[in-house]
Amino acid sequence: MNSETNELTYNFAQYVFVMKRTKFNVLEWGRGTGKSTIIGRHIKDCAEALPRANFVLVAETYAQILTRTLPSTISGLEQHGYKNNVHFFVGKRPPKNWNWPEPYEAPLDYKRSIIFYTGFIINFVSQDTSSASGRGMNVDGVISDESVRLNKAKFDTDIILTNRGNLKRVAHYPDGTWKYFKDVPLHHSVLLASTTPLTASGQWFIDFEEKARLDPSEYLFLRASAEVNKENLGEDYFKKSKALLPDFMYKAEVLNERMSKVDNGFYPLLNEELHCYNGYAYPEDHNEFNTHTSLYDDDVLHDQPLEIGVDWGSNFNCMVVSQEYDNTHHFLKNLFVKHQTIDDLMDEFTKYYVHHKKKLIYMYYDPSGNVSVANSNLTFAQQAELRLKTAGWQVVLMTKELHNILHQDKFILWGQLLKANNPSMPDIAFNKNNCNELWISMTSAPAKKGRNEAITKDKKSEKNKNTDQAHATHLSDAADVIVVGKFLNRLGKQTHFIDATVR
């Protein structure tokens, strides 16, 4: 079966990949450079060169495959003339009377795979569910998008070590010719693609650059900015991206400039490997899975109260949601609204947690929420409380003061909380998927010397019109109010306060 060929012009980075592809290929490309297109091309080539072979598509979470990787991969295939339900099927077998060849290692269930007309199959593998970990498989090749999010140790043991064998299997082609798999260059190929890592845990991805320098016949490492694709993207793409993203994110995600660690950060002990986790609970029928409610968050105790930390603002209102159990304080979710009201933020919360059984909230907030608001009989806190109660929740207001503690005390408190094996404090853990903006807000929050304090959080990002306020320091402030309210008294030292009306 021959596919239709669409008119498609590659940009320079895509062209170099197609011409220089090796066994192990790593693409460090900015957002918009054309990763999905080239992944589609690579899959098409493998499907035609390795009939009946077994590849894996690897991601950090299965949710990532369903919501991000798979739609863009299908789009990339269609750009190359492959049509869904014609040249390949996703999550199901083709009609039996089509007589497609079976893969050499056919799965019992095609629910987590893409099967092609040549019998070539790609199985979905994620690191957050043991049933799709890849362990025990015997595969012919590996593909991964957003690869910097992978846990390197798991990737090596669960995936790379399974990319082995099958050398004497035969690839039969429509023209009647055949080859052993070992004679096909794409056999056991690896393709890893991602934007540049934003955190230190992704450094392993960049390390392949040195391997490519030392062994260019085995490794290909390509770096490219989205600017190489400007002809297809247009100038507006860059203008809009620059307006929406904070400067450091624009440089990293679009221009592919590698980030240096924020020096003198306000949360210097934050460590992705120590403090982050994935938290999805997948239903048996994965078609029912969605990320729009907490129903499939497996880190939520649905029969226990929720704790929220709220930060108020005129143009940006946000909250973080948490629970403490197993001697760990879990930051479960961040929520925010832009150019909307406190009521809108509370509505976002009640929609997401609509299935929560124990509708009891302990609400921590910036003490300015207790200050009377002009033209209203309600404070910010009372307004939020009323909206939540109207939706059927009980609310306990936990912030009674009219004063803030100094930044230097928050800095000391976080230092104790994030310190490993501190018997006087619980561990701190962040749901990596649901707290992405909170994580960026905290890891990119600078510290500086205060006028009257030894150290203070630098909050200039909140006033920068070019900074996406979801990545400014607002969400870090929402996390602060929870830990201050819950754990400040464990410091065992005198703390210092300023009037809450002074911001």
- How far CA 239 is from CA of 35, 133, 479, in Å, comes to 21, 40, 32
**Quick one: 379 and 446 in the same domain?**
yes
Residue of 335, 380, 388 whose CA lies nearest to 359: 388
What's the chain's average pLDDT?
Answer: 88
- pLDDT grade for 190, boundaries at 50, 70 and 90: very high
CATH code, domain carrying 414: 3.30.420.280
Mean pLDDT for the stretch of residues 324-347: 95
Closest by CA to 57, choosing from 16, 30, 71, 49, is 71
Residues 6+ apart with CB under 8 A from 81: 3, 4, 5, 6, 44, 87
| pLDDT at 420 (0 to 100) | 84
Q: Which residues pair with 115 in a beta bridge?
A: 89, 121
**What is the SS3 assignment for 426?**
coil
Q: How far is residue 70's CA from residue 59's CA, in Å, rounded to a whole number?
A: 10
Q: What percent of the chain is predicted at pLDDT more than 90?
A: 59
Angstrom distance (rounded) from CA 117 to CA 124: 18
CA 390 to chain centroid, in Å, comes to: 33
Burial of 371 (0-12, 13-18, 19+ CB in 10 A): middle
Q: What is the pLDDT of residue 498?
A: 43
In-domain check, residue 147: yes
What is the rounded distance in angstroms from the CA atom of residue 282 to the CA atom of residue 290? 9
Q: Given a cut of 70, is residue 6 above it in pLDDT?
A: no
Residue 265 lies inside a defined structural domain of this protein: no
- The model's pLDDT over 343-363, given as tens digits with 9 standing for 90+, comes to 999 999 999 999 999 999 999
Give 285-330 pLDDT, tens digit per residue.
Answer: 666 667 789 988 989 999 999 999 999 988 899 999 999 999 999 9
Q: State the pLDDT at residue 285.
A: 67
Cβ neighbours for 152, distance < 8 A, ≥ 6 positions apart: 201, 204
Element of type H or E holding 497: strand 497-499
Decide: 103 and 119 in contact? Cβ < 8 Å.
Answer: yes
Question: Given this model, what pLDDT does residue 116 score?
Answer: 98
* Assigned domain for 479 exists: yes
Give the type of residue at 401: E
User: Do 306 and 189 fall into the same domain?
Assistant: no
**Residue 346 DSSP SS3:** helix
* Helix H or strand E encompassing 413: helix 407-418
Q: How far apart are CA 454 and CA 408, in angstroms?
A: 6
> pLDDT at position 118, please?
96
pLDDT in tens, 199-251: 667 889 999 999 999 999 999 999 999 999 999 899 999 998 888 776 767 88
253 lies in some domain: no
**Claim to verify: residue 276 and residue 229 sit in the same structural domain:** no
Q: Do 137 and 188 belong to one domain?
A: yes
Overall average pLDDT of the 244-259 stretch: 81
Residues near 287 by beta carbon (within 8 Å), at least 6 away in sequence: 91
For residue 206, report the phi and psi dihedrals to the nearest 5 degrees: -70, -30
Of 253, 360, 343, the C-alpha closest to 305 is: 360
SS3 224: strand
Give yes or no: residues 195 and 317 share one domain: no
Q: Is residue 156 part of a domain?
A: yes
75 & 26 share domain:
yes
Average pLDDT over residues 376-405: 91
70: DSSP letter: H
CA–CA gap between residue 47 and residue 49 (Å, rounded): 6
pLDDT at position 56 over 90 = yes
Note down the domain range covering 355: 272-280+298-499
75, amino acid identity:
S
Does the pLDDT at position 4 exceed 50? Answer: no
pLDDT tens-place string over residues 83-129: 999 999 999 999 999 999 999 999 888 999 999 999 999 999 998 87
Residue 62 is part of a domain; what is its CATH number? 3.40.50.300
CB-side exposure of 344: number of CA atoms within 13 Å? 13
pLDDT at 449 over 90: no
- The pLDDT, as a whole number, for residue 5 is 45
The answer to whether residues 223 and 276 belong to one domain is no
Rounded mean pLDDT of 15-25? Answer: 96
Between 27 and 201, the higher pLDDT residue: 27
pLDDT of residue 463: 86
Torsion-angle region of 415 (φ positive above 0: left; ψ -120 to 50: alpha; else: beta): alpha
For residues 358 and 462, which has the higher predicted lDDT (pLDDT)?
Answer: 358
In a domain, 262, yes or no: no
Are residues 225 and 320 both part of a single domain? no
Q: pLDDT tier at 14 (50, 70, 90 boundaries)?
A: very high
Q: In residues, how long is the chain?
A: 503
* Mean pLDDT confidence for 48-55: 96
pLDDT of 501 reads: 38
> Are residues 447 and 303 both part of a single domain?
yes
Query: Of 1-5, 193-197, 359-363, 484-488, where does mean pLDDT reach its minimum?
Result: 1-5
User: Comparing 66-80, 130-144, 420-434, which segment has the lowest mean pLDDT?
Assistant: 130-144
Distance set, CA 274 to CA 271, 441, 445 (Å): 5, 18, 19
Q: Would residue 384 count as lying in a domain?
A: yes
In whole angstroms, give the CA distance from residue 384 to residue 369: 9
Strand pairing class (24-29; 219-224): parallel
404: enclosing H helix or E strand: strand 403-405
pLDDT band at 437; cut points 50, 70, 90: very high
Ramachandran angles phi, psi of 266, nearest 5°:
-75, -20
Other CB atoms within 10 A of residue 137 CB: 18
Same domain for 397 and 337 = yes
Highest mean pLDDT of the ranges 34-43, 55-64, 456-465: 34-43
Mean pLDDT of 482-495: 81
pLDDT at 133: 58
Return the pLDDT at 262.
Answer: 55
Give the pLDDT confidence of 285-295 residue by residue, as tens digits: 666 667 789 98
The verdict on 41 and 186 lying in the same domain is yes
Domain count, the chain: 2
Q: Which two tokens stand for residue 434?
A: 């649901």
Structure tokens at 134: 């890849």
More confident residue, 133 or 418: 418
Structure tokens at 51: 């009939």
Which residue stretches of 215-275 are H helix? Answer: 230-233, 235-244, 247-249, 272-275
Query: What's phi and psi for 107, nearest 5 deg?
Result: -75, 155
**93 and 222 share one domain:** yes
- Model confidence band, residue 275 (pLDDT cutoffs 50, 70, 90): very high
254 domain residue, yes or no? no
If one compares 499 and 334, the residue with the highest pLDDT of the two is 334
